[in-house]
A and B are shown apart, each in its own frame.
Chain A
Amino acid sequence: MDFEYTQSEQNFRSEVRQFLDENLPAATDRGPDFMEHWLKKVREKRWVGFSWPKSVGGGGGNIMEQVILKEEMSARKAPPLGTCMMGLAWVGPGIIQYGTEEQKQRFLPDILDSKYHWCTGYSEPNVGSDLAALQCKATRDGDEYVINGTKIWTSLAPFASWISMLVRTDNFGETDNKHDGITALLVDLSTQGIEIKPIENMAGGKVFAQIFFDNVRVPIKNRLGEEGHGWAVTISSLANERSSIGEVAGLYTKLEKLTELLATSQWNGQAAITDKKIRRTLGRFEAKIEAMRLNGLRYLTKQIKGDPLSSETSVNKLHRAELEVEMGDFAVEKLGEAGLQLRNQEDAVRSGYWAADSLNWPTVVIGGGTPNIQKNIIAERILGLPKD
């Protein structure tokens, strides 16, 4: 075991730190044009899409450099490296692996330049965890596909310009070969026949939507990968695991806030943090977050040694899901009735941060596979238990 960094890794870290010293003013000193300037600067550095190959405009950073960049950015609570989140995390890597030359040239630069948002269309009203049973269909008509159907719970759809979506082009109504006949399409959301209806979530946000497709015509050249092989495209982009480093930094920050909250909130006339059970729970949160950090390093070591990751990443996904649910809920419980007040309500604590947090966890916990699905993955693929 060795937690040392090589000279070139250390140099890279210094480079990132120096960049941050020069380009990241304190939050209170940021002017209205800060974000535009920031995005331009990090783009020049090729830190947007840092893991992408240089040939498509990415940074070509190796695994350790990606880790260092994330660590330093998280440590300084820097704004994101590019705002086209879905494009950077899911759509771009899919296009890099399966896209035509034309698709690469058309879409990748816009993602890197944070020009507009992408969203990803997977779930349907009757299709959630059993994604391969999807029914939204596309039929060929000349050099176009015609889409009819609907997608739902599509995150960022109210703000997005394009969607990368799965449709069924074959094997309609079959249950045995349901993974065949799925096709991935890249669709301009301003195309005629598309209607986006935002759905308000329980926290009051309108970040996901239902999308209706009524005879929507999409050129065949916007197909990603081969017809009928969209499942492979999806699997490979889902397998394009993000490391959990940014998440761990975020959870540590949240735990610090939670500890501070409980040290300064009174319960029965005493600081809440003096309570033994509260202390034990905080300790448990810390152990889980640290376990996530160290699990991440162990899995990273595997990757560096050239062993591909399989289902181990479900371990940290489950920890994260639990922590996201429990930390907010714990804060709200310990604040008593004051914990129930949202922003702008009279006695809101910390501007209602924890109240909102206790309602916002489903974004993280349900999106990308529910905890029950993660447990199935571990039980079946790692432990070898029979499939459901």
Chain B
Amino acid sequence: MNFGFTQEQELLRDQVRRFLDDNCALPDVRRIMQSAQGYEQEHWQQIAGLGWLGLIISESDGGVGLNWVDLVVVLEEMGRSLYPGPYLSTLCFTAALIDIADSDTQKALLPRIADGKIKGSLALLDRPGDPHVGNIFLEANTTGEGVFLSGCKPFVHDCGSADYFLVAYRQAQDFYLALLDVNDPNLERSHSATMDLTKRTGKLTFDNLDISNAPRFKVSEPQINRLFDIGAVGVAAEMIGAAETVLAITTTYAQDRIQFGHAIGKYQGVKHRLAEMYVDIESFKSLVYYAAWTITDSAEELSRSASLAKAFASDAFAAIGIDAVQLHGAIGFTQEYDIQLYLKRSKWSRASFGNADFHYEKIIEQKQSSQGI
């Protein structure tokens, strides 16, 4: 029994933290997030060199051959420093390839992902809504001339920087993922920032796009749900580091800010809210760690544990972001002060891969079915 990290994992954490502190401290983040591209290519190559892009890719495909527990360490640290870049989206894309792609496709793409040469993103949902197959209704039209897609995929993470997309569609009763190359001249994409400038989004539009030459993989509903769950765990892992930074910044402020003759952290109205934040972060941290472990080691538990983690984290971090700004008073409301960056991240994280409403509902459906009521 060991619900903790190994020494190697702690070393990895130190390495990630050191790299981000040295290269991507908040002043750097602010500069990068204002750029058109939204990330720094040089960092991407360095990250590739450190092996973080191939962490879950097997050694035979050019990766490091580790698993999601190792990845959590990296994601936590990226969340801590609000790393701006398409890491999480490429990771979800990578996980999907590992889960569902044929071995030719894996051999072709995975080594290049690990090397930092290509990036990818998932384009699953057809409309704003829950991460649920009910929100995938793009239908392929098969004729004698090919297989055609007409429609659009909104809110594709890091749409502007990805080189490949896995696009979900239906054909007859089945679900498929098509691997689309951004160089396809008939694939239209747009991209934009979100209120959290470190997280980019965009839209793919298909106007009778022929995908008959693209690799296409038939996927079951549980396989798609697993991708949603993995994404939820990834987001929630970033939320740990981000929320811990919010607590650290706000705690320091409460120690330094003097009102009525005392540091405001002496007053229970302030100190108790900070203690509650600690309790919540400790708790969703445990839930996320366990969910990450189930991805590789206990797949049948993933659905429940991912939802417990993402639901708890979504509610908790959203409230932490708001209260942290409020505890700072007016300074927290300024563009110049960093706490607002994390408030924005909390809202992005909540919306990404299912909010608490969705995940709590999923938990209760499973509970009813396990209790037979």
Q: List A residues at the B interface (Cβ < 8 Å).
A: 1-5, 9, 64, 67, 256, 259-260, 263-264, 273, 276, 279-280, 282-284, 286-288, 290-292, 294-295, 297-298, 300-302, 304-305, 312, 314-315, 318-319, 372, 374-376, 378-380, 382-388
The residues of A that contact B305 with a CB separation of less than 8 Å are 290
Tell whether, in the assembled complex, residue A298 and residue B286 are in contact, meaning their CB atoms are under 8 Å apart: yes
Stretch at the interface among B2-10, B107-115, B214-222: B2-10
Q: How far is the CA of A386 from the CA of B265 in the complex (A)?
A: 6
Tell whether, in the assembled complex, residue B4 and residue A256 are in contact, meaning their CB atoms are under 8 Å apart: no
Please tell me which one of the listed residues B4, B274, B356, B371 contacts residue A298 in the complex, with CB atoms under 8 A apart.
B4
Say yes or no: is B45 at the interface (Cβ < 8 Å to chain A). Answer: no
Nearest chain-A residue to B313 (Cβ)? A287
Interface membership of chain B positions 239-278, coded 1 if the CB is closer than 8 angstroms to chain A and 0 otherwise: 0000000010001001100000011011010111011101
The residues of A that contact B268 with a CB separation of less than 8 Å are 372, 375-376, 388
Q: How far is the CA of A314 from the CA of B268 in the complex (A)?
A: 16
The residues of B that contact A374 with a CB separation of less than 8 Å are 275
In the complex, which residues 261-318 of chain B have their Cβ closer than 8 Å to any Cβ of chain A? 262-263, 265-266, 268, 270-272, 274-276, 278-279, 282-284, 286-287, 289-290, 293, 297, 305, 308, 311-312, 315
Tell whether, in the assembled complex, residue A297 and residue B282 are in contact, meaning their CB atoms are under 8 Å apart: no
The residues of A that contact B4 with a CB separation of less than 8 Å are 1, 298, 301-302, 305
Tell whether, in the assembled complex, residue B266 and residue A294 are in contact, meaning their CB atoms are under 8 Å apart: no
Tell whether, in the assembled complex, residue A283 and residue B364 are in contact, meaning their CB atoms are under 8 Å apart: yes
Say yes or no: is B359 at the interface (Cβ < 8 Å to chain A). Answer: yes
Tell whether, in the assembled complex, residue A288 and residue B278 are in contact, meaning their CB atoms are under 8 Å apart: no
Please tell me which one of the listed residues B2, B5, B278, B315 contacts residue A382 in the complex, with CB atoms under 8 A apart.
B278
Please tell me which one of the listed residues B2, B271, B284, B311 contacts residue A2 in the complex, with CB atoms under 8 A apart.
B2
Closest chain-A Cβ to B129's Cβ sits at a distance in Å of 16
Tell whether, in the assembled complex, residue B3 and residue A1 are in contact, meaning their CB atoms are under 8 Å apart: yes
Tell whether, in the assembled complex, residue B1 and residue A300 are in contact, meaning their CB atoms are under 8 Å apart: yes
Tell whether, in the assembled complex, residue A383 and residue B266 are in contact, meaning their CB atoms are under 8 Å apart: no
Closest chain-B Cβ to A75's Cβ sits at a distance in Å of 15
Tell whether, in the assembled complex, residue A384 and residue B271 are in contact, meaning their CB atoms are under 8 Å apart: no
Q: How far is the CA of A259 from the CA of B368 in the complex (A)?
A: 8
Tell whether, in the assembled complex, residue A378 and residue B3 are in contact, meaning their CB atoms are under 8 Å apart: no
Q: How far is the CA of A279 from the CA of B367 in the complex (A)?
A: 10
Interface centre among B247, B263, B311, B373 (most CB of A within 10 A): B373
Q: How far is the CA of A372 from the CA of B5 in the complex (A)?
A: 32
The residues of B that contact A386 with a CB separation of less than 8 Å are 255, 262-263, 265-266
Could you show 27 A-B contacts with beta carbons less than 8 Å apart?
A: A1-B289, A2-B2, A5-B1, A259-B364, A259-B368, A259-B371, A280-B364, A283-B361, A284-B311, A284-B315, A291-B287, A294-B290, A295-B283, A298-B3, A301-B1, A305-B4, A315-B278, A319-B279, A376-B271, A379-B274, A379-B275, A379-B278, A383-B247, A384-B251, A385-B265, A385-B274, A387-B266
Q: How far is the CA of A284 from the CA of B308 in the complex (A)?
A: 8
Tell whether, in the assembled complex, residue B373 and residue A375 are in contact, meaning their CB atoms are under 8 Å apart: no
Please tell me which one of the listed residues B5, B251, B357 contacts residue A385 in the complex, with CB atoms under 8 A apart.
B251
Q: List B residues at the A interface (Cβ < 8 Å).
A: 1-5, 69, 247, 251, 254-255, 262-263, 265-266, 268, 270-272, 274-276, 278-279, 282-284, 286-287, 289-290, 293, 297, 305, 308, 311-312, 315, 356-357, 359-361, 363-364, 367-368, 371, 373
Interface centre among B274, B275, B278, B368 (most CB of A within 10 A): B275
Nearest chain-B residue to A302 (Cβ)? B4
Closest chain-A Cβ to B250's Cβ sits at a distance in Å of 10
Tell whether, in the assembled complex, residue A315 and residue B289 are in contact, meaning their CB atoms are under 8 Å apart: no
A280-B364, A315-B278 given; 20 more Cβ-contact pairs under 8 Å? A1-B2, A1-B69, A2-B2, A263-B368, A292-B283, A294-B289, A295-B286, A297-B3, A298-B3, A298-B286, A301-B3, A302-B4, A305-B4, A312-B282, A319-B283, A379-B278, A380-B271, A385-B270, A386-B255, A386-B266
Closest chain-A Cβ to B349's Cβ sits at a distance in Å of 16
Tell whether, in the assembled complex, residue A287 and residue B363 are in contact, meaning their CB atoms are under 8 Å apart: yes
The residues of A that contact B363 with a CB separation of less than 8 Å are 283, 286-287
Closest chain-A Cβ to B321's Cβ sits at a distance in Å of 18
Please tell me which one of the listed residues A288, A292, A302, A383 contacts residue B274 in the complex, with CB atoms under 8 A apart.
A383
Q: How far is the CA of A290 from the CA of B1 in the complex (A)?
A: 17
Q: How far is the CA of A312 from the CA of B283 in the complex (A)?
A: 11
Nearest chain-B residue to A386 (Cβ)? B266
The residues of A that contact B278 with a CB separation of less than 8 Å are 315, 378-379, 382-383
5 tightest Cβ-Cβ pairs between the two chains A and B: A283-B360, A294-B286, A291-B283, A379-B271, A385-B265
Q: How far is the CA of A293 from the CA of B304 in the complex (A)?
A: 14
Q: How far is the CA of A3 from the CA of B301 in the complex (A)?
A: 13
Closest chain-B Cβ to A378's Cβ sits at a distance in Å of 4
The residues of A that contact B275 with a CB separation of less than 8 Å are 374-376, 378-379, 383
Tell whether, in the assembled complex, residue A375 and residue B272 are in contact, meaning their CB atoms are under 8 Å apart: yes
Please tell me which one of the listed residues A3, A286, A375 contacts residue B276 in the complex, with CB atoms under 8 A apart.
A375
The residues of B that contact A379 with a CB separation of less than 8 Å are 265, 271-272, 274-275, 278
Tell whether, in the assembled complex, residue A315 and residue B282 are in contact, meaning their CB atoms are under 8 Å apart: yes
Please tell me which one of the listed residues B1, B283, B311, B357 contacts residue A4 in the complex, with CB atoms under 8 A apart.
B1
The residues of A that contact B266 with a CB separation of less than 8 Å are 385-388
Q: A283-B361, A302-B4, A385-B251 are contacts. A260–B308 as well, Cβ < 8 Å?
A: no
Tell whether, in the assembled complex, residue A383 and residue B251 are in contact, meaning their CB atoms are under 8 Å apart: yes
Tell whether, in the assembled complex, residue B279 and residue A378 are in contact, meaning their CB atoms are under 8 Å apart: yes
Closest chain-B Cβ to A285's Cβ sits at a distance in Å of 10
Closest chain-A Cβ to B186's Cβ sits at a distance in Å of 42
Please tell me which one of the listed residues B247, B262, B312, B360 contacts residue A279 in the complex, with CB atoms under 8 A apart.
B360
Interface centre among A264, A298, A384 (most CB of B within 10 A): A298
The residues of A that contact B373 with a CB separation of less than 8 Å are 259-260, 263-264, 273
Q: How far is the CA of A264 from the CA of B371 in the complex (A)?
A: 13
Nearest chain-B residue to A290 (Cβ)? B308
Q: A290-B287, A384-B255 are contacts. A3–B293 as well, Cβ < 8 Å?
A: yes
Q: How far is the CA of A131 from the CA of B236 in the complex (A)?
A: 41
Q: How far is the CA of A280 from the CA of B274 in the complex (A)?
A: 25
Tell whether, in the assembled complex, residue A385 and residue B286 are in contact, meaning their CB atoms are under 8 Å apart: no
The residues of A that contact B270 with a CB separation of less than 8 Å are 385
Please tell me which one of the listed residues B254, B271, B279, B315 contacts residue A318 in the complex, with CB atoms under 8 A apart.
B279
Q: A3-B293, A319-B279 are contacts. A256–B2 as well, Cβ < 8 Å?
A: no
Q: How far is the CA of A263 from the CA of B254 in the complex (A)?
A: 46
The residues of B that contact A380 with a CB separation of less than 8 Å are 271
Closest chain-A Cβ to B58's Cβ sits at a distance in Å of 20
Tell whether, in the assembled complex, residue A385 and residue B308 are in contact, meaning their CB atoms are under 8 Å apart: no
Tell whether, in the assembled complex, residue B364 and residue A282 are in contact, meaning their CB atoms are under 8 Å apart: yes
The residues of B that contact A372 with a CB separation of less than 8 Å are 268, 272
Q: How far is the CA of A387 from the CA of B262 in the complex (A)?
A: 11
